Chains A and B, each alone.
Chain A
Amino acid sequence: MKVISLYNIKGGVGKTTFAVNIAYETARTGLRTLLWDLDPQGSSSYILRIKPHIKGELSQVVSGKNSLGKSIKETQWPLLDIVPSDFDLRHLSSLLEDEKRQSSKLSKSMKAFGHEYDLVIVDSPPEASTVSENVVNFSDLIVVPVIPNPLSINTFETLLRFAGEIADKKKTRLFAAFNLVDRRKQLHKQMLETYLNKDPRFLKHYVPASSAIEHMTSNRAPLATYSSRSSSTTSFSDLTEEILALMR
């Protein structure tokens, strides 16, 4: 089982969009995929039409009383399951801080069902906390969605340092992927020219800004299911292929 996390300390950069669509694409290629919605906002769960837990089971999972496998729900798309969001996730950092070996606690809870999945995709919350440390530690690859502007690049540099400091044993690989790209804007064009195919830390494929993506929240389904021919769908498909190639 491999773990890919979508992470950024900035909000609204497209972590959920990336998580849902990459998870759908990997399931479509035949990989048994689990999407773990660690964001208390529960947007991934909402898009996949899964009711979030109201009363958290997470504290029991963290304390080892309950298995995370019990929270798994099947979505209506084959081979794609989800651990829905839990409003108790807002307390996850403090729950983890009370435990021993806090930075690897979540990876232990995944071991119980690891054999059932080929890939776990984590939609992480926009924060730098104990939860983020766990995410960095159990991920094989972290994808950081960034909007093409200097501030986002700056944040990505900070994240790289953060990951370097906290990574336990293995070196987690971080890659940035441009999102919400509008090629009509001069700045976006410049950023793409500077980083794409030149900086190895940036994925070669990017996702353009499109209204089809915005409709994900109203359609409550992955992009490819209702807009299979849009450029964004193709981008996610290419991006997934690139990410899977990096995992091999």
Chain B
Amino acid sequence: MASSRISLVFSCGDVERVRLAIRQLASPLAVPLPRQGILKLLDTFDWALERSGASLLLHEYRTGTQLILVGPRLSVFEDLPIANNKWINVETIEQPFLRRSLSEATHQRALVVQASTPARGQLFQFPNSQGMRVATLFFFELPEINRCHILLVTRRGYSSFQHKLSEKIFAALMGLDIKVERKDPFDMVLGDHQRYKKDYQSRFALEFEPSTYGCIALGQALSSEQHRAEINAPWIKDHPDPEFLHDLRVALRRTSSLIKSLEPLLGSIDTSWFRSELKYFMNATSPVRDLENLGTFTSKQLDAIKCSPEVEALNSKIARDVSRNYDELAQLIPSPRFDNLISSWGQIARKSLSLALASTPSMNALGSTNGQAENIEVFPKTRVIESARVLLARSGTTLIRKARKAKKLKTAESLHSLRKEAKTFRYLLEFYEPVLEPARTRRCINSIKKLQDALGQHQDTFVQMQLLEDLCSTYKIPKSKVAMVFDVLASDQKIALEDYRKEIKLFSGPTLFREIQLATGYRKK
């Protein structure tokens, strides 16, 4: 005997009718409004929760997080403060019962996000004759898989109540002519992305054609980034979770970077207009994101330290400006211009896919390994691993050059430029990951990530300090009144610089070339 759950998935055009039907099933307790956000499936890296028959879902929306923990021993539905982290440290959860239950179920290991999908969710609770909330029904709309999901959880010892309620649900859905499947929606999310459950967070399994440079893989990558942009864009409009905007920006950035570094693969396909549009949307979304980051930072400071009333006032002004920026952004995304971008995105992806069927671009187009004009022997139908080596070496050269420059100049601009180059190199490594030596590539990617984190932190604090100065002058707040925020930012910047110095070693010498050559199999150990 245990608390039991029923998971139903169905496609439905008229969601409101279903919602109304659920409300009419019994007299549920006060029903909150639907919340728009992201539904995340959390588990340990080796799926310990799933193996013990439990599941932990987080529905992150703009103002908070709903935790849904359902297992054979207990069911917990808790409203938690915003948790945008990629992982949860069980030890930091405040409620002792939850901390203990999770610790036991996970064997005290960290929880990672195994899958996530945009979701608009609502909770219905059904009482027994004594007024106790016996059953809880979660109703989610999942646009990514174009389905609705019902999760019905009933407390231990109420099997007959659950049976009666589920019968009613089935009857109501049948009445609306809806075909229901007993499925876990995350199986569909994971399935749709053609990812393995164990390795969800790794890149897509790209299909590298053995006899060309990787046009099919590039087409697939562009197509998946287009999909990412498409599914995130509609959610930005209604001021949802900032992660929607972040994900859209990641799609824009990745695409821009891939097209720039893999341009030779695209042959005669003209991407100049598309690239300028990508840049336009990146620039348009950047201030919103920067201001939102600053808002998050000042809010944190308000919680952590005793701040002056000026900081509090500034924080509320930032919140108002963020809201106004989102309203302005809603005019742009979605818009005909954005639709055009999405449409040409798809066209370029399709063209890239069809390139593999036509002819292989000339090896000359790949350029040289050291950035200088150099003729490389032309081999029609070159193996993809060779193009990987050439392109990685070229990108690596630029990265090392930028790293040396940054080391010499130590200016925010030079560090930012290095950061951008590191990002391009990482995207390229991740793109070619399926054909490279896995352990070495992963290690290299992780090192770059650490470098990027340090540089990102440095750049964020730099931008935030500038923004803060601008805001102080706009709202006529004396700098001395918000000095403590500047101090924290300056100390964060110092820490970031120290981290950067630790991580840069790999990228300032021939070590990186050695790593690339080993990863691509050009050099043996």
A-to-B contact residues, CB < 8 Å? 27-30, 32, 46, 48-51, 69-76, 78-79, 81, 116, 220
Given known contacts A27-B97, A28-B97, is B155 in contact with A74 (CB within 8 Å)?
yes
- Bound-state CA distance A32–B76 (Å) is 14
Q: Pick the most buried of B73, B76, B132, B133: most chain A CB atoms within 10 A of its CB.
A: B132
Chain B 50-76 near chain A by CB (<8 Å), digits 1 or 0: 000000000000000000000001111
Question: A71 to B158, alpha carbons, bound, how many Å?
Answer: 10
> Does A116 lie within 8 Å of B155, measured CB to CB?
no
Tell whether, in the assembled complex, residue B156 and residue A72 are in contact, meaning their CB atoms are under 8 Å apart.
Answer: yes
In the complex, what's the smallest C-beta–C-beta distance from A64 to chain B, in angstroms? 18
Q: Out of B1, B74, B155, which one reaches A79, CB within 8 Å?
A: B74
Q: Which of B39-47, B98-106, B339-347, B401-409 lines the interface with chain A?
A: B98-106
Interface string of B154-169 (1 = CB under 8 A from A): 0111100000000000
CB pair A74 B156 closer than 8 Å: yes
**A28 neighbours in B (Cβ, 8 Å):** 96-97
Q: Which residues of A contact B96 (CB under 8 A)?
A: 28-30
A75 touches which of B99, B129, B132 (Cβ 8 Å): B132
Contact status A51-B130, CB under 8 Å: yes
Tell me if B's interface is mostly helix, strand, loop or mixed. loop
Asked if B157 contacts A73 (CB within 8 A), the reply is yes
- Flag if A116 contacts B132 (CB, 8 Å): no
A78 to chain B, nearest CB (A): 5
Question: For residue B74, which residues in chain A have a CB less than 8 angstroms away from its CB?
Answer: 74, 78-79
Nearest Cβ in chain B — how far from A127, in angstroms? 26
B76 touches A78 (CB 8 A): yes
How many positions in chain B have a CB within 8 Å of any CB in the partner chain? 22
Interface core residue of A29, A70, A79, A220 (most chain B CB under 10 Å): A79
B155: nearest chain-A partner, CB-CB: A74
Mark each residue of chain B from 1 to 13: 1 if its CB lies under 8 Å from any CB of chain A, else 0.
Answer: 1010000000000
Residue B128, interface by CB 8 Å? yes
> Do the beta carbons of B156 and A116 come within 8 Å of each other?
no
B477 to chain A: closest CB distance in Å?
38
19 contacting pairs across A/B (C-beta < 8 A): A29-B97, A30-B97, A32-B73, A49-B128, A49-B130, A49-B131, A49-B132, A69-B1, A73-B155, A73-B156, A73-B158, A74-B155, A76-B133, A78-B76, A78-B97, A79-B74, A79-B97, A220-B130, A220-B131
8 closest Cβ pairs, A-B complex: A73-B157, A49-B132, A74-B156, A74-B155, A30-B100, A30-B96, A49-B130, A79-B97
Whole-angstrom CA separation of A65 from B295 in the bound complex: 64
Q: Which of B1, B76, B99 has the most CB of A within 10 A?
A: B1
B residues 115-167 with Cβ under 8 Å of A? 128-133, 155-158
